[in-house]
Structure 1
Amino acid sequence: MQDYYSTLTGWMIPISRAMQANSIDAAKALKACDISLDVMQDQESSIAAEKFAHLLEYCNKKLDRHDFSVLVAEQFHPGMFHALGYAMMSSNTLYDALERIAHYKRVVSNTCQLVNHERNEHLVFEMNIFTYESTNRPVLSQETVETFLATIIRFSRELVTLDFAPVKVCFAYPTPRYDVTFLKDYFNCEVEFDSSQTAIIFDLKQTKEKLLCGNPLITHSHEKMLDEFMARVDKNDLTHIIKNKIFELLPLGAPSQTEIAEFLGMSLRNLQRKLSDQGTSYKEILESTRKKLAMNYITQKHLSLSEIGYLVGFSSVGNFNRAFKRWTYQTPGDYRQGRKP
């Protein structure tokens, strides 16, 4: 299933520019990584994550500083993410922009989950990277992760200010053998390796400051295009089909994995294998679906907390309270109280 994981070929725009700026022969690099030259011409298609990683590694080895990741990030342009890039650039706050890339990340890649969560005075933008089932190896290479996080910071500087810096950048992989000073210089903050997470930690207050470039009309227009694109992708996406069935059945109680397998006309083992190939599980899908619904319902003041718990498939208020606290570090009551004007 290695070819299942892919990333948008829009990345080839900054990569090709970085190669040109550093005298790396693009034709030789693509041939060495078994990537067709046609990829450079088609920015709407995808490239296998494995080949993408090989290309970054190839280019990195051509440089003494091994800093190709940040050189690619420096070439960032919103157009490389198509409508998502422009929706992000017209967001009202950096917080909103990071929420959009987490929500629409499948437009760019299916190699990881992006999750934003508030922790004390910080916003944690976390990457949960999928692994190949056969080897348990992460789908994204070290160079790929560096490139993506560096690009997020480059984008943040476009939105906020050119000297913008996060609080901390965390990498779950060990410290590279080569000098990583370039990463500390680029991020302009503490960089941690061997971390328990792969994430960028932002100052929460700073991410919620109003941006001059915010334009709801432009954002809405691009989100409409993104929704249409994702609808086409989701039509044949197993995870999306399962989520829709869960939505339908939750008021009757959380459906079991066996019930979903029967609905899909496949064996339980086959369902588990297919979801594992996609880097997820039924438990994760059920949990994320419940959370998404609960976070929507909690803002609807006409619904009591017990009604919300029932609507998202919990048999008791106590079970709902425990789940909600796991998601937000707050009880539903405290969370709702905090949302009052």
Structure 2
Amino acid sequence: MTDYFSVLSGWLIPIKRAMDEWDIDFNSTLADCGIKTSDFKDPESRISAERVSQLIEYCNHLKERHDFAITVAENFHPGTFHILGYAMMASNNLYDAFKRVERYKKVVSNTCSIKIEEGPRVYKLVLTPFLYESTNRPVLSRNSIIIFIATLVKFARECSSHNFRPQEVNLNWSNTENMFYFLSDFFNCPVNFDQDEISFSCDTAILKEPLLGGNPLITQSHEKMLNEFVSRLDKNDVVQIVRNSIHDMLPLGTPTQTDVAKQIGMSLRNLQRKLSEQDACYRDLLEETRKKLALEYITQGHLSLSEVGYLVGFSNIGIYFNKY
């Protein structure tokens, strides 16, 4: 893992709003923390994660408070997550939205991993910060972690039809001198410190309730844009490049691995080797992409089953779903 970790410049949107609330000058403070104001104008620029952490600490210190992270989260805007934010807003339910965060996390930052652990009654979202190789120090500061988790909760409250709250929040640090007293009020649930992981858990039934703005047509177009965005971020991510190619080629029939290799300008042997290096299998990628698209198309009432079958490269979609 590289020692350069970055976050999307969209985080400056809620940070600026929070600074306005706290009566902190945006331009001079960014300059003090070594962040260029031009980054605020470019939605695809990346900012050093370390600089952003310093900015959060700077604002807390300036006002002699500890809760700037919560003010940032309260000012959530879809543009914070670029295309991902708008795809989340149009998701069928919170589960789908959080799964998109899990899959496209690198759009937002390369500072941590996100994993959803699924149970019969409770789903848990686990955040694991990466470490600097040179020092073994977590990339994300405690306040940066709070911002990310609180932003997801704020998003859920904005999009769902009820006052969303997690069942519990787990943090892997101590609440020294009750410094994080404000977290229980914001999350409106138990906040547990000194845990083995960073996570929050939710009732499965609530996560599966339809969102007010759910729109599968919009999310499909957003996902295509997300796939292209991720490919630009990491041109060495062959798995993502293959997924994109399969997505584009399916309406013309089921693409073979040779077809995909030709489209992306690789030899078949080279493609097979690169997929193997990433512990990926072409057949699995084909089936995952096809199934995901088919399930999304089926939610669109204007498409017949035969049309769905055509769009995912099958003449009979019923036979396909009988396998699952």
Alpha-carbon shift at residue 44 of structure 1 (Å): 1.6
The 5 A counterparts of 1:57-72 are: 57-72=57-72
Q: Does 1:189 align with 2:162?
A: no
TM-score normalised per structure 1: 0.70
Using the alignment, how far apart are the partners of 2:16 and 2:281 within structure 1? 39
**Which position in structure 2 is the counterpart of 1:209?**
209
Alpha-carbon shift at residue 237 of structure 1 (Å): 4.6
Alpha-carbon shift at residue 66 of structure 1 (Å): 0.8
Alpha-carbon shift at residue 241 of structure 1 (Å): 8.6
Using the alignment, how far apart are the partners of 2:175 and 2:119 within structure 1? 25
**Which position in structure 1 is the counterpart of 2:118?**
118
**Which position in structure 2 is the counterpart of 1:160?**
160
The 5 A counterparts of 1:317-332 are: none
**Which position in structure 2 is the counterpart of 1:253?**
none
Unaligned runs of 5+ in 1: 249-259, 265-281, 301-335
Residues 66, 178 of structure 1: 8 Å contact kept? no
Using the alignment, how far apart are the partners of 1:239 and 1:294 within structure 2? 11
Alpha-carbon shift at residue 69 of structure 1 (Å): 0.6
**Which position in structure 2 is the counterpart of 1:235?**
235
**Which position in structure 2 is the counterpart of 1:142?**
142
**Which position in structure 2 is the counterpart of 1:15?**
15
Range with bigger deviation, 23-32 or 132-141: 23-32
Q: Does 1:52 align with 2:46?
A: no
Assess, with a 3 A threshold, how the Cα gap between structure 1 residues 65 and 8 changes in structure 2: closer, same or farther: same
Deviations 1:273-324 (A, max 9, x none): xxxxxxxxx99x53x879x769949x79xxxxxxxxxxxxxxxxxxxxxxxx
Q: Could you tell me which amino acid in structure 1 is paired with residue 122 of structure 2?
A: H
Alpha-carbon shift at residue 81 of structure 1 (Å): 1.5
Deviations 1:210-262 (A, max 9, x none): 22321101111111111111122231458869999xxx8xxxxxxxxxxx9xx
Deviations 1:45-97 (A, max 9, x none): 00011111111111122234410011001111112212111110011110000
Residues 121, 204 of structure 1: 8 Å contact kept? yes
Q: Could you tell me which amino acid in structure 1 is paired with residue 27 of structure 2?
A: A
Assess, with a 3 A threshold, how the Cα gap between structure 1 residues 243 and 194 changes in structure 2: closer, same or farther: farther
Using the alignment, how far apart are the partners of 1:294 and 1:240 within structure 2? 12
Alpha-carbon shift at residue 120 of structure 1 (Å): 4.1
Using the alignment, how far apart are the partners of 2:239 and 2:63 within structure 1? 40
Residues 171, 199 of structure 1: 8 Å contact kept? yes
**Which position in structure 2 is the counterpart of 1:329?**
none
Partner-residue secondary structure (3-state), 2:63: coil
Residues 88, 100 of structure 1: 8 Å contact kept? yes
**Which position in structure 2 is the counterpart of 1:218?**
218
Q: Does 1:103 align with 2:98?
A: no
Residues 243, 289 of structure 1: 8 Å contact kept? no
Partner-residue secondary structure (3-state), 2:154: helix
Q: Could you tell me which amino acid in structure 2 is paired with residue 138 of structure 1?
A: P
Assess, with a 3 A threshold, how the Cα gap between structure 1 residues 201 and 84 changes in structure 2: closer, same or farther: same
**Which position in structure 1 is the counterpart of 2:39?**
39
Q: Could you tell me which amino acid in structure 1 is paired with residue 78 of structure 2?
A: P
**Which position in structure 1 is the counterpart of 2:74?**
74
Partner-residue secondary structure (3-state), 1:23: coil
Deviations 1:101-134 (A, max 9, x none): 1111111111111111113411111112110011
Assess, with a 3 A threshold, how the Cα gap between structure 1 residues 59 and 172 changes in structure 2: closer, same or farther: same
Using the alignment, how far apart are the partners of 1:122 and 1:139 within structure 2? 29
Partner-residue secondary structure (3-state), 1:62: helix
Instruction: Tell me how large the CA RMSD over aligned residues is.
Output: 3.5
Instruction: Count the aligned residue pairs.
Output: 273
Assess, with a 3 A threshold, how the Cα gap between structure 1 residues 203 and 63 changes in structure 2: closer, same or farther: farther
Using the alignment, how far apart are the partners of 2:220 and 2:104 within structure 1? 13
Partner-residue secondary structure (3-state), 2:47: strand
Identity %: 45
TM-score normalised per structure 2: 0.74
Using the alignment, how far apart are the partners of 1:243 and 1:216 within structure 2? 19
